[in-house]
Amino acid sequence: MEPHELALAAKYVGAGLAAIGTGAAGIGVGTLFGQFLNGALRNPSAVEGQFGRLIFGFAVTEALGIFALLISFLLLFAV
């Protein structure tokens, strides 16, 4: 295999590996909403006060998945 072909293959493999991180963010978001529902069903009166925190936690967790996706995109299009 030519060296540049090897580099291209490594680039695509790396992009795929980086995309695994989005799945990890999926676990995080699932845990977040699952735990929120768990608490919300026990104490529905507290839901409205905590909604902002839920959204905040969602955005911060989701951002980590986006970071992984960004690395993947960087490898695909910018390297």
Binding site for another protein (CB under 8 A): 52, 55-56, 58-60, 62-63, 66-67, 69-70, 73, 77-78
Tell me which long-range contacts 41-44 makes (C-beta under 8 A, separation of at least 24): none
Distances in whole angstroms, Cα of residue 42 to Cα of each of 29, 49, 54, 57: 20, 15, 16, 20
- Provide the residue count of the chain: 79
When the beta carbons of 41 and 78 are compared against another protein, the nearer one is: 78
Structure tokens at 13: 């493999």
When the beta carbons of 40 and 64 are compared against another protein, the nearer one is: 64
When the beta carbons of 41 and 54 are compared against another protein, the nearer one is: 54
CB of 33 to another protein, least distance (A): 14
